[in-house]
Chain A
């Protein structure tokens, strides 16, 4: 009997090489989904549990602030830009008013600068605490949420006490912070400064935040399952992060000790002693841990600022109707989510001629198609959450 050797080989090979053919499925994650922090939509092509192509679709919350600010006056714009990154609304205002002050050539009084700095750091703490709260939830642990949110409430209460707003403080004015009311009129003299007891209350709250961070670290960082879910997941090399414009804690988690608070002069950070925490591997775990360490550094800054806050006016002299001289400048700041900047073009009028808003989350999630290639569906959520974005900050 003649055996067809080719046929034998073919059969033996085919029995090995024929894999189970599975149907690919397009999974729409969002725009309404518990883990997309708003209205992000991910179009994921998945094969079983593995996603091989994930395309983010954004724009569900585009409010056209760049266009809108062309028909608004400078003081009105701070109201708009509060709503960009709403979990750290206060921090959004800073680079914008600094840009306007730069064009105006204004010197902001020292006390106002300190207040700005303290509130910015408190906004950072509250933003990071939200992340501390929501990230374990995305991994399935519900309890850290309440511990983190409880501490955030203390910080927000203080922010509210000073600014009147929890999420949208709208506290900065060009030339300082919200001024004493009644300028020029002797009958309506209301002195507005920090509320009585604010500094002491803040000091106390900062101590509590430190304790809470300790507690969170015990709760989350010692958990084997959290480590198994985050270590080595979503590794982001520093050079890729830089090319995509990923900034802030996400960049620092990749081992880059770069913090705009150290290199830019929008607020007097050079007066304070703080470190830049960095990660080692750039994975989800590092992104979580860097933010935890940053809370501690922010607390340090606030404590130093409270000790050293000078007295003095809250507002520089500015005209009633602010006309910003002709010019253009780009001012960027280290916001909780990363680099936030405003490219301000003025033509000498009451409103900007063009305002380009560079928001951190926009660039931070532009990495998604790269970083989500070939990951498992549960890891999509783990990586997505670790980037800590806010849709308002993405869509503007």
Chain B
């Protein structure tokens, strides 16, 4: 499976690791064209870089959050603030599908920044604990982080230290709870069970397996 040139170069010295990587490589046989950029960013800001599905993702330590993004802005030219949000990772969820394998309970803060010339973008991520998550505010680095942090604050309960006005953005002032946390119950879900399975009933003659399913395209000779 070691088909990529870079892997064959390391193949002999890291034979043991090559086996372990084989499964990963099956999905991505060649290093992604963005891998080099990801590594470069990761090295500059001090984090771990990866390319997941064409998205450059760099994980940094939550303590280095502001300094990493400041470096990205000043040295990498990533001056465009795209968005900031978070993901609530939970194995026992009330809303959404439970993760198939156990995941560590945590809140992942994500921020995507980019340049405005070549279209490079990096999604920075950092991990916070689930109980009273707190992180420094990016408002001083990217002014546009203001509203995004207010949104993440009300939706996930993340405290952004140094934010000028961490008030609710969407929700009424008196609203209690953090709606985008997985533990926040969704009333529709309580009333009606998971609609996905009900919705897609098998059509007569059609199978559910990928291989046996007749692609509609096959019956479309003209299209």
Contact = CB atoms under 8 A, between A and B. Distances in A.
Do A and B touch (CB < 8 Å)? yes
Interface in B84-111: 85, 87-88, 95-100, 110
B220 A191 contact: yes
A197 interface: no
Given A58-B170, A319-B213, A327-B53, A251 B99 contact: no
Contacts of A185: 203-206
Interface string B141-170: 011101100000001000000000000111
Interface in A193-208: 193
Given A184-B206, A244-B81, A316-B215, A193 B223 contact: yes
Contacts of B96: 70-71, 351-354
A240 B143 CA distance: 8
A223 interface: no
Interface string A158-187: 000000000000000000100111111100
B200 A73 contact: yes
A75 B195 CA distance: 12
Contacts of A68: 186, 188
A246 B83 CA distance: 11
Contacts of A38: none
A395 B170 contact: yes
Contacts of B204: 184-185
B170 A70 contact: no
Contacts of A313: 215-218, 220, 223
A336 interface: no
A313 B214 CA distance: 13
Interface in A323-357: 326-332, 339, 341, 343, 345, 347-354, 356
Nearest to A191: B220
Contact of B220 (A59, A193, A320, A345): A193
Contact of A358 (B112, B202, B221): B112
A329 B55 contact: yes
Interface residues of B, number: 69
B126 interface: no
Contacts of B55: 328-330
A59 B168 CA distance: 9
A263 B47 CA distance: 26
A370 B216 contact: no
Given A351-B96, A351-B97, A243 B142 contact: yes
A27 to B, nearest CB: 20
Interface in B36-74: 52-55, 57
Interface residues of A, number: 83
Interface in A5-34: none
B200 A320 contact: yes
Contact of B210 (A67, A311, A317): A317
Nearest to A359: B83
A317 B169 CA distance: 42
A331 B169 CA distance: 25
A66 B148 CA distance: 14
Interface stretch (B7-15, B18-26, B113-121): B113-121
Nearest to A175: B215
A176 B123 contact: no
Contacts of A311: 222-223
Interface in A219-251: 238-240, 242-247, 251
A68 B188 CA distance: 9
B73 to A, nearest CB: 8
B82 A358 contact: yes
Given A58-B169, A366-B144, A243 B79 contact: yes
Nearest to B56: A330
B80 A353 contact: no
Nearest to A313: B217
A264 interface: yes
A270 interface: no
A263 B119 contact: yes
A73 B202 contact: no
Contacts of B81: 242-245, 363
Given A243-B142, A314-B223, A356-B110, A76 B195 contact: yes
Contact of A320 (B207, B218, B222): B207
Contacts of B218: 313
By Cβ-Cβ distance, the 7 closest A-B pairs, closest first, are A263-B119, A313-B217, A329-B53, A317-B215, A59-B170, A179-B216, A349-B97
7 contacts: A67-B179, A70-B186, A184-B214, A317-B213, A329-B54, A348-B100, A351-B96
Interface of B: 52-55, 57, 79-83, 85, 87-88, 95-100, 110, 112, 116-119, 121, 123, 142-144, 146-147, 155, 168-171, 179-180, 184, 186, 188-189, 194-197, 199-200, 202-210, 213-223
Given A244-B143, A318-B213, A356-B83, 9 more contacts: A71-B188, A183-B214, A193-B222, A263-B119, A321-B208, A343-B85, A350-B197, A353-B87, A353-B96
